[in-house]
Structure 1
Amino acid sequence: MNAYMRGKTATQTKSARLATIARTHTSGLCALGLALVPAYASAQQTAGQSARGALESGDIIVTAQKREERLRDVPVPVTAVSASTLTDQNQTRAQDFFSNVPGVNVQFQNNRARLTIRGITTSPVTGNPVIGYTVDDAPYGSSTGQSGLFGSAPDLDPSDLERIEVLRGPQGTLYGASSIGGLVKYITTDPDLKEVRGTVAVGTNTIRGAGQALGYNVRGAINLPLGETFAIRASAFTRHDPGYIDNVVSGEKNVNSGTATGGRLSALWKPSETFSVKLGALYQNRDVFGSSNVDPRLGFGSGFLQADEIGAGHGNGKQQQYSAVINAGFGGVDLTSVTAYSRSTNYDLVDNTASGLTGFLFPLVYPQANGEFGNVLRKGYGLKKFSQEMRLAGSVGGAFDWIVGGFYTHEKIDYTLHPNATNPNTGAVYGIPLIWVDDLTFKEYAVFGNMTARLSDIFDVQFGARYSKNRQILTHREWITFAPDSEYAYSIVSPRSKGNSFTFQVTPRLKLSVDHMIYARLATGYRPGGPNAVCDPGVLPCQFDPDKVINYELGAKGELLGQALSYDLSLYNIDWKDIQITQRIGAFSFGTNGGKARSRGVEIALESRPVDGLTLAVWGAYNDAILRESFVTSLLYTAKGDRLPFSSRYSGRFSFNYEAPLTGEATGSIGASVAYIGNRKGEFVDTEQTAPLRQTYPSYMEVGMTAGVKWDDWKVNFFVQNLTNRRGVAGGGYLNQTSQNPNWFYYIQPRTVGLSIEKQF
């Protein structure tokens, strides 16, 4: 499946054939030629059939339920994206490929992508994360919104990955907190004990509006066996993304360019078939040199334009993750231990001139500026996280499969705000009149279990439960400078909070035949509450509570006409209560709970392989996510029946891909896709008077094309993204009191044309 894993020798030919089979079974369920793997229905994998045997038969193996299974056997709506497909199509950023997954919408802010799955969100900056992320089963990112990133999707380069799995709907039983909307699993490539092999790839692209600026990427990987039981794998990449937005204030062209570099080192020790240790170290550094926001009031005659303050727009993110995964078998019982430590530091420089500080506090502190101020806000986020999961899995007489385990995480989070008072004409900094510093400690303990009971040859039921508790301590500090040479500590508080939660799931599955399956799924999820920096019992709550969802789902998967046609259908209804929201009293904002919502919809995917080499795929999704209760705060105004933000009611995609021999050893391919993203609502507004001004992001269609040639150890791919150069709106235009600028909008990337060349050895 992974491009790096296909070799050149006669021994490797079998792997190449298996990769071709896997690609034949992948679905094009996303735009721009991105191939997604639908979950097909099939017979339950027998007790004696190993995952290796399934792989050799061409099946796709996933770990959605924390054990290796054929994708078509998993009674969960899962989409699997192969890393080789991502690199072939230059899908190297989160916003490039997640927006093409059924039921998933991407909202872009501060140069980071935030996901909405099945409509479960109320704001990009309200409450704790609603989507969970793991890397090799180790949780990635913070469990709370206090880190400032609010659950934004990791931007891991595909060169480090084997595949990405997207699980739709709540996954609280096996994966815990902050997965009430769904979960994204990043699976890295394991070292291979058998062969020395590797790959080197280079690529370039040009974006409409970038002028002569070209993007490029270079990536490479090598696998080295060191004996029969030990191997290492190393990969590295560097990437430059050209900018295409001009700043009319500074006069700079292509301000939103960016670079990313990183790599991964992994080692595998496997002295026997029943014991292995995998160590991994991941590092990435990402620089963005200007914001991607666009001010449509400036027009589009000369391309995308913005009017950010001088000095705003730059951002940097550094991510490190170290992990140890131990697998051991003890007479029919398998032990898995996942230990991880991660560290990340991020900052953004944001134009915050629209805030009240600019006209109120700045003139008091810096009267010599004669009232001319810019406000460039530096937002810094830091996270240190340790996690440990231990689980046991086994079977009882072929009638029961079970998993039990425990989980612990300890997080140290810091969040800083420095609003720089600047000269709007030169960008010179007068000073920092206000400093906000939050330090949060988050600890969580959990136990969980899952059991599948096979009641007959065609019917089984899966049960799962999880109990967790968390403790949090927040230290909040503020300083206000009343003169350039003096400081005053405004407040120092240390509120605490605690909480616990019980989640469960029940999933009956009926195998109508070896090719058809129907399943039902009752599953719950939660995200933890947390402490408020400002606390006054009876007036301001000292903490906000968890919110919870319960998902009712019916699915069907299967194959017809001798596997020439496959289908995957899901119908769901999600009830959401105690929604986490933000309120304000005076100058203080705080978290609380209020209101109910529900999300219901249908997702269907069809794939046909009418002749050898040709794959036709189509998917469509309907999602109706609305509030069931209205609530009004000093930050948000909502009414019963209002749509939740950022999700399309209607979306879909059609694609085709054709692969055929050319001459000699060469094989050619060509493909195209068209995706439809329906209109979406923006963030909730702050008053009833502004309710008619709540943003509606128009629908748009996006077209992509691909073509490629493979021969021997070489592969050349040509791609076009956003062929018709549509200006699809991806977010922005906020109108509530936390908005930095209601005239900022984020658009999908203009037409991009590129070429990549890969050599395997």
Structure 2
Amino acid sequence: MYDKIMKSSGSLATACALVLTSAAHAEGDTVATTDTLEEIVVSARMRDEDLRDVPISIVAIGADALAQRGATELKNLGDVVPNVIVGTGNQERRTNLVIRGISTEARSIGQETGVGVYLDGVYTGRAETYNQRLPDIAQVEFLRGPQGTIFGKNTIAGAISLTTLKPSDEVAGSLSLDGGNYGHAEAVGFLSGPLKEGLLFGKIAAYGLTEDGYAKNMFDGSRAGSKLQDGVRVQLRATPSDKLEVNFSADVNRIDGEPYRAEVTRGTFGNEPGAFTFDEAYHSWEHIDYSGAALTVNYALDSGHSLTSITAFRKSQWETYSDETWNGFNHSWAEYEQSSEYTSQELRLASPSGRTLEYVVGLYYSKQDSDTHTPVFIGDGLADILGIPYGWKSFDQRAEVTTDGYAAFANATYHFADRWAATLGGRYTYEQKDLSFQQLDPNGLGFVPAIGPLTDDYSGGEFTPTASLMYSLNPSWNFYATYSSGYKSGGFNVDVLSTADNISFDAERVDNFELGAKAVLFGGRAQANVAVFYMDYKDLQVTQYDPDTFSNYIGNAANASVTGIELDLVAQPTANLNISAGLGLLDASFDRFIDQYGGDLKGNDLPFAPSLSASLATQYSWSINAAIGAFIRLEGAYRDRTYPDVQNDPRNRLESYTLLNARAGLRLGEGWTLEVYARNLTDELYAVNRTTQRPLLSFLPPFAYDETTTTFGAPRTYGVKLTTRF
């Protein structure tokens, strides 16, 4: 299969390499007169290090690069990093994170995703919190592969770490105003500076966003895809002595919208008018609140060691109202409510940097309490057909899951020779989960069986080691070999059930083997990172839908493997030109898996695992006069075809697509920028999710057919943005 992948990707990879190589050689005789790339500093191992010294596949995007891309939320980076997908749907709650072909949407409160999102070292919580806004972000780090040593909260596929700008010693800030089509209006800004000179510093960041819909409801001509979002983050930094730093942060965020969820593209009641049309008698809406607070204390010991304590609390609430039949009849609607609270405490001791032996040791405790209520109602039209009173419920469920997690970890790097460094690490994680569950058939309609009330519990632990060896060939080239492991605890299938026997599932595990190289090229004007990896999964947690019982089932696939290559390149051929590129290759499939129907899925692709993903961006800047500069930026991203389901149903296949973005602007005087932009410049129609199944009303003869629903990615959007920085 890899021969096929290599043939399909060869031309694009060669093009990327030639662009970078030729651009760098073009200025080979004028190195002294051109700018070089800055050192990239990351905190993937809980200390500041040069990215080239860290034996992990990492992509770091700093504040300047975020601004150049116009990224104001994590989803804007969904096509930037190869082998990473941020979002497989248009609802905020559908921010499914996929790294190296491993995805877990985790619609159930009894299941966690395989990717952890961290904000200043704090786990953000459940899926509704993943699409973090970026008003004051210093850097976003994408850590690909299991991070089970230091980032221990279900990071079996990888971690996304966001670091905010600390309150500054001098007054600084920015403000952006953005307006575009589909009623897009956005304001983003922050202000930072001293509150008491030398002792107390503060920062406030805020954003507001409103958008109209780009999809049409054929039922009544209304629009969907609208969103109203706002939030604020406040931070305080105190330095009572040269050894002690105390940071406090708090944030509040709100989202209200009428999302474009999907549309029927195949079925008796398919939407004939075309893309971005749907037919819902009940208007869907979504409401999300998420917030949090964290106290981080750093103390420098006389020995040069640093002691860090992070005490954090986060909470989220998600509510949605949705049409359940998609067919233009008032047959059924649902109301889903889900809330979660997450408390954590972490203690770390880190040795001084730059020593022969560097290490970090720590303890971690977390408590998560989540609950859900999911009633489904009979609409007036179906009530008339069935001859029952209006407003009866066909389904109701109430559940609560409480999780206590404990962990101890250590990671040490020994520089045993001038050019050699070895790293050993390990983490022991233990989780205790308790479930309270009841599934109701409130009016005895027989759509689902009544189950419970019942209680259940789960407990389990795992030691996840890591080991790596790094060799510096010279100051420009580093090579590494890494073994890492990951663990994601089992849980509960808090969803529509056909039987209580399907209430729980087991933990999953992975072993990752990786070879990589990191280099500085052409006198510091180019940086390249490449990784080749093989991941062996055991008991992979997989979600399947049963159309006969309208139930969802989470089980453990026996074995799956992922093999791949990742290449990341950045070049600054001249002071005016910047180029970045990325290439990801994947062969992700089930090695052994008998599904719940007895079907053999060996050899099937894992969901949302493209064989090839690639990105290329170039930005050219120049001066018009002493006060005015200009720039133009072009970006392209390609994603190969994928399947969203484990059965690899050809009716659900998501075809490959290429997205182009463009930005151009003027830099006016000191700190002002005016720019115009377009995303999906060619207005490409592409699907991000697709499902084929029997409709909810398939027990009625007119609806006894297979129906395909498709979610298309956003159409072309464009706008104008004005930014001031000071």
Interval containing the TM-score (normalised by the shorter chain)? 0.7 to 0.9
Secondary structure in 1 matching 2:78:
helix
What corresponds to 2:74 in structure 1? 94
Counterpart residue number, 2:89 = 108
Per the TM alignment, residue 713 of structure 1 is displaced from its structure 2 partner at its CA by: 2.3
RMSD: 3.2
Q: Deviations over 1:183-238 (max 9, x none)?
A: 0111122111x2223222211111xxxxxx42010122212312221011111111
String of CA shifts for 1:131-161, please: whole Å, max 9, x gaps: 111111011114xxxxxxxx46622221142
Is the contact made by 1:265 and 1:280 (CA closer than 8 Å) also made in structure 2? yes
> Counterpart in 2 of 1:33?
none
Aligned equivalent of 1:180, options 139, 142, 156: 156
Tell me the TM-score normalized by structure 2.
0.85
Measure the CA separation in 1 of the matches of 2:157 and 2:247. 30
Distance in 1 between the 2:724 and 2:104 partners? 46
> Does 2:679 align with 1:721?
yes
- Equivalent runs, 1:224-623 vs 2, <5 Å: 224-227=193-196, 228-252=198-222, 254-297=223-266, 304-311=276-283, 313-331=284-302, 332-353=304-325, 374-395=331-352, 398-423=355-380, 430-482=391-443, 491-531=452-492, 540=501, 543-582=504-543, 591-623=554-586
Partner AA of 1:270 in structure 2: T
Structure 1 residue 640, shift from structure 2 partner = 0.8
TM-score by length of 1: 0.82
Match of 1:754 in 2: 719
Q: Does the Cα contact within 8 Å between 1:495 and 1:533 map onto a contact in 2?
A: no
Q: Deviations over 1:267-310 (max 9, x none)?
A: 00012332101000011101121334233355686752112332
Post-superposition offset of 1:739: 12
CA shift digits 1:454-509 (9 cap, x unpaired): 1101000111000011111100123333289xxx9862111111111110100110
Distance 1:350 1:386 in 2: 31
Alpha-carbon offset, residue 531 of structure 1: 4.2
Distance 1:612 1:553, change over 3 A: same
Q: Which residue does 1:627 correspond to in 2?
A: 590
Q: Distance in 2 between matches of 1:86 and 1:565?
A: 19
Segments of structure 2 that go 5 or more residues without pairing to the other structure are 1-12, 14-35, 699-705
Could you say what secondary structure the match of 1:86 adopts? helix
Which stretches of structure 1, 4 residues or longer, exceed 6 Å deviation after superposition?
A: 425-429, 583-588, 736-741
Name the CA distance, whole Å, in 2 between partners of 1:745 and 1:739: 19
**Aligned pairs for 1:77-88 within 5 A:** 77-88=57-68
Say whether 1:196 aligns with 2:171: yes
Deviation per CA, 1:529-558, whole angstroms, max 9, x where unpaired? 124679x9x993774221001110000010
Matches within 5 A, 1:201-212: 201-206=176-181
Residue pair 1:284, 1:318 contacting (<8 A) in 2 also: yes
Deviations 1:628-684 (A, max 9, x none): 0021204x8452110001121012122211112221132211111222111111212
Equivalent-residue separation in structure 1 for 2:686 and 2:671 (angstroms): 38
Does 1:731 pair with 2:689? yes
Alpha-carbon distance in 2 for matches of 1:248, 1:628: 44
Q: Deviations over 1:165-190 (max 9, x none)?
A: 11000001111131111101111221
Q: Which runs of 5+ in 1 are unaligned?
A: 1-28, 30-55, 143-150, 207-212, 359-371, 686-690
The one-letter code of the counterpart of 1:250 is D
Per the alignment, do residues 236 and 123 of structure 1 end up closer, same or farther by CA in structure 2, a change over 3 Å counting? closer
Q: 1:117 aligns with which of 74, 87, 99?
A: 99
Instruction: For residues 547-572 of structure 1, give each alpha carbon's deviation from its aligned partner in whole angstroms, at most 9, with x where no partner exists.
Output: 00111000001022212332211100
CA distance 1:263–1:125, shift in 2 (3 Å): closer
Q: Measure, in 2, the Cα distance between the counterparts of 1:630 and 1:655.
A: 39
Residues 351-382 of structure 1 show CA distances to partners (whole Å, capped at 9, x for unaligned) of 32279xx9xxxxxxxxxxxxx75221212110
Q: What's the offset of the Cα at 1:409?
A: 0.3
Which residue does 1:743 correspond to in 2? 708
**Counterparts of 2:683 and 2:614 in 1: how far apart (Å)?**
19
User: How far apart, CA to CA, are the structure 1 residues paired with 2:348 and 2:58?
Assistant: 22
User: How far, CA to CA, are the matches of 2:265 and 2:632 in structure 1?
Assistant: 36
CA–CA separation in structure 2 for the residues paired with 1:742 and 1:259: 32
The answer to whether the 8 A contact 2:620-2:631 is kept is yes
* Offset at residue 431 of structure 1 (A): 3.9
Deviates more, 1:227-236 or 1:557-566: 557-566
Name the stretch that deviates more: 79-88 or 542-551: 79-88
1:134 & 1:264 partners in 2: Cα distance? 15
Among all aligned residue pairs of Structure 1 and Structure 2, give the percentage whose two residues are the same amino acid: 23
Q: 1:661 to 1:596 in 2, by over 3 A?
A: same
The 3 A distance-change label for structure 1 pair 324 and 429 is farther
What one-letter code is carried by the residue in structure 2 that aligns with 1:198?
A: G
Q: Is the 8 A contact 1:682 1:734 kept in 2?
A: no
Distance of 2:246 and 2:643 partners within structure 1: 47
Please identify, of 459-468 and 221-230, the stretch whose mean Cα deviation from structure 2 is larger: 221-230
Q: Note if contact 1:109-1:731 (Cα within 8 Å) is conserved in structure 2.
A: no
Q: Which residue of 2 aligns with 1:695?
A: 652
Alpha-carbon distance in 2 for matches of 1:494, 1:344: 24
Which residue of 2 is the match for residue 130 of structure 1?
Answer: 114
SS in 2 for 1:195: coil
Does the CA contact (< 8 Å) of 1:217 and 1:240 recur in 2? yes
Distance 1:494 1:406, change over 3 A: same
Q: 2:37, 2:526 within 8 Å by CA — same for their partners in 1?
A: no
- Over 3 Å counting, the alpha-carbon distance change for 1:153 and 1:599 in structure 2 is farther
Alignment correspondent of 2:24:
none
Query: What's the secondary structure of 1:410's corresponding residue?
Result: strand
Task: Name the residue aligned to 2:184.
Answer: 215
Rounded Cα–Cα distance in structure 2 between residues aligned with 1:642 and 1:243? 36
Structure 2: how far apart are the matches of 1:294 and 1:586?
A: 23
CA contact (8 A) 1:308 1:351 kept: yes
SS at match of 2:684: coil
- 1:758 partner SS: strand
